[in-house]
Amino acid sequence: MNPPTFTATPLVRRKLRQERLARAVLAGMVLAMVLPLAAIIAYLVVQGAPLISWSFLTQNPSNGMRAGGIWSALVGTIYLVVIALLVSAPVGVLCAVYLNEYARENWFTRLIHLAVVNLAGVPSIVHALFGLGAFVLFAGIGRSILAAALTLAIMTLPVVIASTKEALAAVPMSFREACWNVGASRWQTIWKVVLPNSISGILTGVILQVSRTAGETAPIMFTGAVFLKKIHDDTLFPYALTDQCMALSMHLYTVTTQVTNAPEALPYAIAVVLLGAVLLVNAAAILLRGLLRSRKKW
Amino acid sequence: MVTPTPKISVENLRLSYGHKEVLHGVSFAIAPNEILAVIGPAQSGKTSLLRCINRTVEFTPGAVMSGTVRVDGEDLMRMADVYGLRRRIGMVAPLPVGLPLTIYDNVAFAPRCAGLTAKAELDARVETCLRQAALWDEVKDRLDSLGTKLSGGQQQRLTIARALSHDPEILCLDEFSIAIDPVTTMRIEDVLQELRAHVTIVLVTNLTQQARRLADRTMFLWNGDIVEMADTDVIFGDTPRDRRTFDYVNGVFG
């Protein structure tokens, strides 16, 4: 007589046990990451809620930053992020295209690669000192939005290069060879096949830098951000590039450490707006990425 | 057999990747409109040989090539327009590569890269090439769907259509039939027989019977050296010059 097919032998039982254990541990790790994140956001929103309103967003700070809103800081952050990205995204992406598609593998390109990876790990305060020396003093731009945005761009550049290189390297070599085999030049190959297939990866890398740019305080502290500056909201572009500006991250630092008797909810409200702004930009970029993907039917 | 101006002539071709030499100075010539089969075990340098002919080997870091390869008597290494050279050569890789474009764009890719934009001309070219690759009937109603969504065998035929799309004078096929069923393989072999009227074909194959069916001459390449190159009848006959050739084509190769 044949034995029944599905007998739970010790081996099978051990495999099932391992399976359950692995699932539980991995799910636990996800919880360990999600719970604190949810807790932080919930705490910020609850604490900051009393202050958040439309007028909080659209009014200049007043009474020594103890009252009023955060309009000038919000606009300042938008200025800094947009200008920094306008510089770092194109330069970084084109740089990565050259390094990944054109440059030959030799000691020099390996050195560049090493430099890029190391620069990505340099603390932002070091970039701040570089920005102060190079843009504010040496180039004579002075403390301004331009100098601060350029400093932020320099800070994000290596990360954009590294992530773009990853995205380009993920496009199979066989695609490139197929193009070369029919007589396409390197640029035709890059433009028609490599870039369309790596654009979503490239965008992801750039999107991640938006939040970093918006959140950093150190690089803009020395190069163009001020404690308090009121702007008039009746013009389309309230800041000039040579102006100094307020920024949300800096404002948060100021009201928590420099201003006495500020309302307790104020720092939390600023943090919520900062988070919301970053979220908004990310959502827009993700939407754009989805659009590009569907058009390519990838 | 070798005419005064061979289509492709190779003299003392050496190729090494880093410190490893994979072709140890091979020399041969291919006449116009000839079908040359290249047979040999894995790692014998067959694919590298093809990649030397269209100079795509240059894209491999560390590849060093010496010796001369001439196409129509013109030295490959002195050609200024390497893209023009590659447009004269159709190359089919062993694994199917459907570019992530539509089926139409896959085939129209090369003509477009060469500057052809007229819609009617492109349409005609796409249809001809897909017919030659025995794929037209299966895809004619969905030319705008993605090439990468086709099955493996269909993608391989798409690759063949793309290799024909720039109207090459030389067609290099590297194991084109490993992903294709026998019936379709026979249909493509028929097309190759028709194409030889105006195309020179280099056929790398592991199917010795395929070489026997198609080739005028056959080269047996082993470990980067040409063991023997002769008329196909001789190679597959009872008395090839070299004992190893006999062993290989009869399947007793150790």
Read off the pLDDT of residues A131-190 as tens digits, 9 standing for 90 and up: 999 898 998 888 888 999 999 999 999 999 999 999 999 988 888 888 888 888 889 999
Q: Is A169 on the interface with B (CB under 8 A)?
A: no
Residue B1 has pLDDT above 80, yes or no: no
B95-115: average pLDDT: 85
Interface residue A182 vs chain B (CB under 8 A): yes
| Cβ contact B109–A181 (<8 Å) | no
Among the ranges A83-97, A273-287, B7-21, B85-99, which has the highest mean pLDDT value?
A: A83-97
Distance from CA of B140 to the nearest CA of A (A): 19
User: B62 to chain A: nearest residue by CA?
Assistant: A105
Asked if A175 and B99 come within 8 Å (Cβ–Cβ), the reply is yes
Cβ distance of B93 and A178 shorter than 8 Å: yes
Chain B, nearest residue to A195 by Cα = B100
pLDDT at B225 over 50: yes
Please report the pLDDT score of residue B138 as a whole number: 87
B86 CA: distance to closest CA in chain A (Å): 5
Distance (Å, whole) CA A176 – CA A180: 6
Tens of pLDDT along B160-201?
Answer: 899 888 888 999 998 888 878 888 888 888 888 888 888 999
pLDDT higher than threshold 50 for residue A298:
no
Q: What gap in Å lies between CA B54 and CA B52, rounded to an integer? A: 6
- Range B1-88+168-184+202-248 classified under CATH 3.30.540.10: no
Q: Is residue B4 predicted with pLDDT exceeding 70?
A: no
Mind listing the pLDDT tens digit for each residue in B5-28? 888 888 899 999 888 889 998 999
Structure tokens at A44: 């910020």
By Cβ distance, the residue of A180, A185, A188 closest to B59 is A180
Q: Both tokens of residue B84? A: 């023009």
A188 near B CB under 8 A: yes
CB atoms within 10 A of CB B199: 20
Q: What is the pLDDT of residues B23-69, one digit of tens each?
A: 998 999 999 889 999 988 888 888 889 889 888 888 888 888 888 89
What's the pLDDT score for residue B239? Answer: 81
| Chain A interface test: which of B56, B109, B155, B156 (most A C-beta within 10 Å) | B109
pLDDT at A177: 86
Name the residue of chain B whose CA is nearest to A185's CA.
B83
Task: Mutation target for B interface from A99, A113, A176, A182: give the one with most B CBs within 10 A.
Answer: A182
Q: Is A265 helix (H, G, I), strand (E, B) or coil?
A: coil
Give the Cα separation of A8 and A15 in Å (integer): 10
State mean pLDDT over B83-99. Answer: 84
Contacts 24+ apart (CB under 8 A), A251-255: A251/A61, A251/A65, A251/A70, A251/A73, A252/A217, A253/A217, A254/A65, A254/A227, A254/A228, A255/A65
- In this complex, the residue of B85, B97, B113 whose CB is nearest that of residue A175 is B97
User: What are the structural domain ranges in chain B?
Assistant: 1-88+168-184+202-248, 97-167
Cβ-contact B150, B98 below 8 angstroms: yes
User: What distance in Å separates residue A184's CA from the closest CA in chain B?
Assistant: 6
Give B9's strand partners.
B29, B70
Chain A: give the shortest CA distance to residue B163, in Å. Answer: 7
**pLDDT greater than 80 at residue A235:** no
| ipTM of model | 0.80
The pLDDT of residue B235 is 87
Size of interface A-B (CB pairs under 8 A): 71
The reply to whether residue A181 touches residue B101, judged by beta carbons under 8 angstroms, is: no
**B142 contacts: CB under 8 Å, gap ≥ 6:** B103
Question: How does residue A104 score in pLDDT terms, banded at 50, 70 and 90?
Answer: confident
Residue A130 distance to chain B (closest CA, Å): 36
With contacts defined as CB-CB under 8 Å, which chain A residues touch B87? 182-183
- The pLDDT value given to residue A296: 52
Tell me the sheet residues that pair with B68.
B11
Which residues in chain B have their CB less than 8 angstroms from residue A176's CB?
59
Given this model, what pLDDT does residue A290 score?
81
Domains of chain A: 68-296 (1.10.3720.10)
Residue type, A192: K
Say if residue A297's pLDDT is above 60. no
Residue numbers in B near A171 (CB within 8 A): none
Proportion of chain B above pLDDT 70, given as a percent: 98
- If you average pLDDT over residues A213-230, what whole number do you get? 84
